[in-house]
Amino acid sequence: MRFLFKTDYKQDIRLFQHEGQVLWYGLLIAVMLAAPWLFGNYWLSQLTFVMIYAIAGLGLMILSGFTGLPSIGHAAFLGVGAYVEALLVARGAPFPLAMLCAAAISGGVGFIVGLPALRVKGIYLAVATLAFGFIVEEVLARWESLTGGNEGLTVAAPRLFGVNFAAPTPFFYVSLFVCVLVTLATLNLLRSSTGRAFIAIRDSEISAQSMGIDLTRAKALSFVVSAAIVGLAGALYAHKLRFISPEQFGLTQSIDLMLLIVVGGLGSVHGAFFGAAFLITLPQFIAIAKDWLPPEMAQTAGLQALVYGLIIILFVMFEPAGLYGRWIKLRTFFELFPFYRRGMFRRQRAFQRSERLK
Amino acid sequence: MNASRRGFGNVRLPEIASAETGDAAAAAPGEEGETLLALLHVLISGIALGCIYALVALGFVLIYKATEAVNFAQGELMMLGAFAGFALTQLLGVPFYLAMMIAVLLVAGLGVLIERIAIRPILGEPQFSVVMLTIGLGYVARGGVTMTPFLGADTYALPTPYKGEMLRFAGLALSVDQAVVIGATMALCAALYALFRYTKIGIAMQAASQNQLAAYYMGIPVRGLNALVWGLSAGVAAIAGLLLAPLTFVHVNMGLIGLKAFPAAVIGGFGSLPGAVIGGLVIGVVESLAGFFLPEGAKDIAAYVVVLLMLMIKPTGLFGDTQRKKV
């Protein structure tokens, strides 16, 4: 196990805690840069999807994982971002500009949603976001003059100065660039006082308030940042799929995003990436599993829902820290070998943590 | 990666009772009275639908009051109730009323089982965990039913002994199915009221919901009561499913109606039983009126618009408690 000898307060908020991290993340970046030569087109495309979902997951992670505000309608922001991107690019805007607009408009929508949401919490907020998600999906489906309704919209290729970025390799680099940028921005946000305020609100609103944190401002900001990042992911999503329709941004997608952050590990930046990789590769594992199931069962559409449901249940019950928590435990096991104990990561249990007045 | 890859992409609930309303409106005599009568029929079908929302919302509120958990699988429990009723009457040939009772008891038992196996171990975890867990349970229920042989993702009708009969008075036609829904909801509400008002176990449940620890010290078996509340709530959901099935169809996705019962529970103030019933009726009527007066599509989101307005104006709902949390 590595022990850090801290000689400076600044060490606490360094981007990299020690040289080992620099090495490993550097290697990761190098592998990602070399990916088009290492993987075929199919896996490159899957990797792009992982990054897009990781960006969306980071957005939701900031809201749910770090600020502690649940949202069951986050696919709506993905939808807003995707549609803004598609419409602007179709009118000839260069795609980076369109992406910025997508993020800005999605963030604006997030602010509008966040305003009433600031007054409510817990289950009320969950229902408010659920309602918002349904309303956005319906608006996208009914505003036919702009969005093309349920028939969907074909997204033009991303172009900049006459260069087409639609092919797998260039688009992979675009996604990688945005992904690295968003990750750095998230990390920087979380080490700043704003991010620490978010975490304080998650842990206890009352103590955060007594420490002088402006709850309204911080929560609204969390909503805006989260929505903007998810909107950015939506813009990439639109280009990657090249065809968008309202049903892609419905409740199923919102639950996918929640599954992503829960399975990845609530409250960790790594979690968004682990979760995204899990979400993208899961259908392929299910496809493999279908081969050794009796055909009557394998053919039904229910198998995937069943597996998704079981995964959510098992993770919530047995590994609330998600894949990232599992990874930490595994790493600690080897670092401390043979002195790892089962109780090292035991959860603290309250009899019942109540949101009501006792 | 399209959203419908799991077969739930198109989340649309079946039209409820609109055909009957249309027939009745056409048969009504007179020029002037016609719109009024049509409106009345819309109102009645709205109330019938509202009763279903109310029952599902009652299930949410029962569980929320007792355990502070929010059960997102309530709609799926309702779906399971309808499927149990269908399987018993149509596949196994059990007489109708007996089958209804068995179906309710089966689903209630399942509710107790869910509490015991899945909910109790994560007691004390943040609310978000329970929300995710019950969403997962809902997925499992839907996937499980889809994969069951003889049921699958098909649509079935649940025939009732009183199918197609109409009650007529003064030009107003009311289908017996709808009348049964309204009557059964009223009876169930009265029974629940009596349970919480007059029986020892109901009062114990109230005590446990107000302050669990104090109730525990007073010798109330809080854990057992929680399991009982889950059973009760699942039973209510199953009744809702059995009442809804004759009005629409038995289908795997009929549980999605639970998503509209959420606004109902919130409008009533999550945690108030009469509030849940009134919220359900409000949502049902608003939805029917929106379908009658407003352009297509308004009906589907009326419930959500209403709940957002409610949260902006009065975040605690109609009957919610406005206590402030102290440190």
Which pLDDT score, from 0 to 100, does residue A299 have? 65
CB nearest A317 (choices: B7, B122, B139): B122
Chain A residue numbers touching B124 (CB-CB < 8 A): 349-353
Chain A residue numbers touching B252 (CB-CB < 8 A): 302
Give the chain A residue nearest B299 (alpha carbons). A138
Q: Please indicate, yes or no, if residue B246 is contained in any of the structural domains.
A: yes
Each of the 358 residues of chain A gets a pLDDT tens digit; together they read 567 788 888 887 788 877 778 888 888 888 888 888 888 888 888 899 999 999 999 999 999 889 888 888 899 999 999 999 988 988 888 888 889 999 999 999 999 888 876 777 777 888 888 888 888 888 888 887 777 777 778 877 777 777 777 788 888 898 999 999 999 999 999 989 999 999 998 888 888 889 999 888 899 999 999 999 999 999 999 988 888 888 888 888 898 898 899 888 888 899 999 999 999 888 888 888 777 777 666 666 778 888 888 988 988 888 888 888 888 888 888 888 888 777 777 665 544 445 444 3
Let me know the angle formed at the C-alpha of B310 by B308 and B312, rounded to the nearest 5 degrees. Answer: 70
Distance, CA of A71 to CA of B131 (rounded, Å): 11
Evaluate if pTM is beyond 0.90: no
Between the two ends of chain A, the Cα-to-Cα distance in Å is 43
Q: Where are the beta strands (DSSP E) in A111-217?
A: 153-154, 159-160, 163-164
Residue with tokens 């608006």, as numbered in its chain: A139
Q: Please indicate, yes or no, if residue B139 is contained in any of the structural domains.
A: yes
Distances in Å between the Cα of B156 and the Cα atoms of B76, B83, B89, B237, B288 are 16, 9, 12, 19, 24
- Structural domains in chain A, sorted by start: 41-344 (1.10.3470)
Q: Tally the residues of chain A.
A: 358
**pLDDT(B31) > 70:** no
Per-residue pLDDT of A165-200, as tens digits, reads 778 888 889 899 999 999 999 999 998 999 999 999
Distance, CA of B173 to CA of B191 (rounded, Å): 28
Give residue B32's pLDDT band: very low, low, confident or very high (50, 70, 90): low
Evaluated on CA atoms B143, B147, B150, B153, the torsion sign reads positive
Q: Please indicate, yes or no, if residue B325 is contained in any of the structural domains.
A: no
Residue with tokens 């820290």, as numbered in its chain: A321
Q: What share of chain B has pLDDT > 70, as a percent? A: 86
3-state SS, one letter per residue, for B30-71: CCHHHHHHHHHHHHHHHHHHHHHHHHHHHHHHHHHHHHCCCC
Q: Could you tell me the two tokens for A166?
A: 């639609």
Evaluated on CA atoms B175, B180, B183, B186, the torsion sign reads negative
Which pLDDT score, from 0 to 100, does residue A343 have? 73
Q: Residue B169: which residues within 8 A CB-CB, separation 6 or more?
A: none
A309/B136 Cβ within 8 A: yes
The nearest CA of chain B is from the CA of A135 a distance in Å of: 6
> What single-letter DSSP state applies at residue B326?
-
Nearest to A126 by CA among B297, B130, B322: B130
SS3 state of residue A14: coil
The dihedral over CA atoms of B152, B156, B158, B159, expressed in degrees to the nearest 10, equals -140
Distance, CA of B124 to CA of B67 (rounded, Å): 10
Residue B168 CA, distance from chain mean position: 28
Q: Could you tell me the two tokens for A133?
A: 């998600």
Distance, CA of B233 to CA of B71 (rounded, Å): 10
Within the 33-72 window of chain B, which residues sit less than 8 Å (CB to CB) from chain A? 64, 68, 70
Partner A contacted by B202 (CB < 8 A): no
Partner A contacted by B203 (CB < 8 A): no
Strands A159-160 and A163-164 turn out to be antiparallel
Q: Please indicate, yes or no, if residue B182 is contained in any of the structural domains.
A: yes
The arithmetic mean of pLDDT across residues B52-74, rounded, is: 86
Give residue B7's pLDDT band: very low, low, confident or very high (50, 70, 90): very low
| Residues A213/A35, Cβ–Cβ less than 8 Å | no
The arithmetic mean of pLDDT across residues B92-107, rounded, is: 88
Which pLDDT score, from 0 to 100, does residue B322 have? 52
What domain range includes position B88?
Answer: 54-254
| Residues B266/B105, Cβ–Cβ less than 8 Å | no
Residue with tokens 């709902």, as numbered in its chain: B317
Distance, CA of B327 to CA of B323 (rounded, Å): 13
Q: Please indicate, yes or no, if residue B31 is contained in any of the structural domains.
A: no
Nearest to B28 by CA among B42, B15, B49: B42
Q: Please indicate, yes or no, if residue B310 is contained in any of the structural domains.
A: no
Nearest to A50 by CA among A247, A245, A264: A264
Nearest to A140 by CA among A80, A74, A72: A80
Which residue in B74, B147, B307, B327 has the most chain A C-beta atoms within 10 A of its own C-beta, making it the best mutation to test that interface? B147
**pLDDT(B30) > 60:** no
Nearest to B43 by CA among B301, B320, B282, B308: B282
Q: Could you tell me the two tokens for B310?
A: 């409610």
Kindly provide the ipTM of the predicted complex, given to two decimals.
Answer: 0.84
Q: Residue B77: which residues within 8 A CB-CB, separation 6 or more?
A: B59, B71, B107, B110, B111, B141, B233, B234, B237, B238, B241, B255
**pLDDT(B33) > 70:** no
Q: Residue A334: which residues within 8 A CB-CB, separation 6 or more?
A: none
Let me know the angle formed at the C-alpha of A193 by A212 and A254, rounded to the nearest 5 degrees. Answer: 100
| Residues A316/B135, Cβ–Cβ less than 8 Å | no
Nearest to B78 by CA among B69, B86, B90: B86
**pLDDT(B13) > 70:** no
A305/B146 Cβ within 8 A: yes
How many domains in chain B?
1
Per-residue pLDDT of B219-231, as tens digits, reads 888 888 889 999 9
* pLDDT top residue among B156 and B84: B84
Per-residue pLDDT of B281-290, as tens digits, reads 988 888 888 8
* pLDDT top residue among A264 and B3: A264
Q: Please indicate, yes or no, if residue B20 is contained in any of the structural domains.
A: no
Q: Please indicate, yes or no, if residue B313 is contained in any of the structural domains.
A: no
Which pLDDT score, from 0 to 100, does residue B45 have? 84
> What single-letter DSSP state applies at residue B287?
H
Query: Of A2-6, B75-79, B310-314, which has the strongest mean pLDDT?
Result: B75-79
B136/A312 Cβ within 8 A: yes
A250/B132 Cβ within 8 A: no
SS3 state of residue A212: coil
Partner A contacted by B135 (CB < 8 A): yes
B10/A356 Cβ within 8 A: no
Which pLDDT score, from 0 to 100, does residue A206 have? 84
